[in-house]
Each structure stands twice: as structure tokens, then as C-alpha cells.
Amino acid sequence: MYKILKAERLAEKIYLMDVEAPRVAKSCQPGEFVIVKMDEKGERIPLTICDFDRKAGTVTIVFQIVGASTQRMAEWKEGDAFQDFVGPLGQPSEFVKEDIEEVKKRKYLFVAGGVGTAPVYPQVKWMREHGIEADVIVGAKTKELLILEEPMREVAGNLYITTDDGSYMNKGMVTEVIKDLVVNQGKKYDVCVAIGPMIMMKFVCLLTKELNLPTIVSMNPVMVDGTGMCGACRLSVGGQVKFACVDGPEFDGHQVNFDEAMKRQQIYKTEEGRAMLRMQEGDTHHGGCGNCQ
């Protein structure tokens, strides 16, 4: 069992938990995810890692209520425990695997939307721990839905906050802030990392492609079972079939077919839709099964 050491409500329908999981904490890296299961009857829920403390043996997760299982999770308190807490899974962020001196030569811009702030945080924190200052844009619909502002401020070089309704800091979308920084202020960036809702990542990528700014996105929103076997996270990346939970979750955003992914995500929500996708995609429907190319 994996005990919850801290349970906190961050915003409406958004919760944070510190979970005692020493083996996961020992080896996890920014960009990876875990699968949690509450009990024998609970469903498998993939969640990107928000933070980890190797010494304390804890992993921090942030989740949003989207269904019955996450509603139950939100009601759990300190002392409750998950039956399963599996990870780390997926591929770590590219910069983790690169030569640190090469990483230090680049100027990074991180763009976080909504709950996407959670997986952005460990990446920016990793940068800070390695002596790299990264600029961060955090967007939320309203001030009340903004999460992790203070922790992010502690690790970011410059933090820019924007809300859709103007209830806090700047008013507007994250794309407007990107354009202001690059076009109006003349800031130079080598890499953009964008994590958030699918529609946000799509429009960030449309803009950064115009700006000739390489962009990495995390396709964690399409993950369901975390192994690729369900076929939910099947993507077209540069014309090739990829699976977010085994090949990613991070990909070159300029190569991701967002329109196809969002349409597929809607179809997958119904049993009839899933049956149709299995029929249309044949052996490429599943990932990690040995039948896919």
C-alpha cells in the first residue's frame, strides 16, 4: 500500500497529494508519469509526476476531477493509501538525457495551461537545480483556477501569469504572452515546452511554428490505461503512428496532428466509437503489443 502523506485542494476540482513511494521516487525524472489504482475495483489512472523527493521517498501528484474514480480520490485524506502506485513510466524529458553543458547553452520557455502547470513544474525545478534559468508562462481561465504559483515563482527565471478573464495579472491567452515576449520584446528562445489542454497546445504550436521556435508538447491528456494496450493514446507524429504512454508522453509539437488527436479523443469516449477505431486501425490500434510498426 502507498500511503498519502499530504492531501490538499489547490482549486476547484484540482487536488494535490504527496504519496509515500520510495522506489518510484528513487528513479523518476521530469516528464514521466505514474499509474495509480485506489483498490481492487478501481480503474487505472495515469498521472504525470508533479514533484518528487528522493530522500523522503515521496512523489507528488496533481489531478483534476473528471469522473467517478477521481471524485473518490478527491475525498481521500492523509493516512489513506493507494493499492497500486506504479512507475516511473513513459520517457523522461529529452534534456534530462542530454549533455548538461549543451542544455545550458539553450534558452528555454515553458508554457503551462491549467492542470498542465503540474508537469511543467518538475521540469523547471530540474532546470533551476542545474543552474539554468527558464522563463515560464502560466495560463488559467480565472484567478481561482491558478495553481502552484508560489512554487513556480521560486524556480522560474521570469514568471508570466495570464488569465482568460483578466481576473489576475495579464488578461488573455498564453499565445498572446508568447507573441509579446518574442515579437514585441525581442526575447530569444531556443526551445519551447508547452503542456496543457489539447487546444492550447495546438495553438501554441501554430504560433511557435510561425516564430521558428522548436516546441515540445506532452500528450498526457490522451492517455487512459498508461500502457498503450487500450489504443486511446494512438497519435500521428510526423506521419508515423506513436503512442503517448510508451513513446512519450512528450513529442515534437510541430509534428503532432492535433486535429486528428482531438477528433479521435472524442470518438474514443463511446463504446461504439472504440469499436469503430479498432476496426479502422487494425494492428496499429494498440501500442506495446508487438503487432504495431
pTM of the model: 0.86
Q: Which set of grid coordinates corresponds to residue 72?
A: 473518490
Contact assessment for residue 168 and residue 161, using Cβ atoms and an 8 Å cutoff: yes
Region of poorest pLDDT, from 71-75, 194-198, 210-214, 224-228: 224-228
Q: Which three cell numbers stand for residue 144?
A: 481561482
Q: What average pLDDT does range 85-113 have in this prediction?
A: 93
pLDDT tens string 161-219: 999 999 988 899 999 999 999 999 999 999 999 999 989 999 999 999 999 999 999 98
pLDDT tier, 283 (very low <50, low <70, confident <90, very high otherwise) = low
Q: Which of 35, 192, 22 is nearest to 108 (CA)?
A: 192
| pLDDT tens-digit series, residues 8-66 | 999 999 999 999 999 999 999 999 999 999 988 878 888 889 999 999 999 999 999 88
Assigned architecture for domain 2-89: Beta Barrel (2.40)
| 8 A C-beta contact, residue 39 and residue 73 | no
Give the confidence band of 95 by pLDDT, cuts at 50, 70, 90: very high
- The DSSP secondary structure of 135-201, one letter per residue, reads EEEEEESSGGG---HHHHHHH-SEEEEEETTSSSSEES-HHHHHHIIIIIS----SEEEEES-HHHH
Enumerate the domain spans of the chain.
Answer: 2-89, 100-218, 219-293
Residue 153 has pLDDT above 60, yes or no: yes
Q: What pLDDT does residue 263 have?
A: 81
DSSP for the chain, please give it. Answer: -EEEEEEEEEETTEEEEEEE-HHHHHH--TT-EEEEE-STTSPPEEEEEEEEETTTTEEEEEEE--SHHHHHHHT--TT-EESEEEEEESPPPHHHHS-HHHHHTS-EEEEEEGGGHHHHHHHHHHHHHTT---EEEEEESSGGG---HHHHHHH-SEEEEEETTSSSSEES-HHHHHHIIIIIS----SEEEEES-HHHHHHHHHHHHHTT--EEEE-GGG-SSSSSTTSTTEEEETTEEEEHHHH-SEEETTTB-HHHHHHHHHHTTSHHHHHHHHHHHGGGSSSSSS---
Answer yes or no: same fold for 2-89 and 100-218. Answer: no
**Cα-only R_g, the chain:** 19
**Topology, domain 100-218:** Rossmann fold (3.40.50)
Q: What is the mean pLDDT of the chain?
A: 87
Beta strands across the sheet bearing 158-163:
170-171, 158-163, 135-140, 108-113, 191-195, 215-218, 250-252
Residue 270 has pLDDT above 80, yes or no: no
Question: What integer is the mean pLDDT of 269-286?
Answer: 49
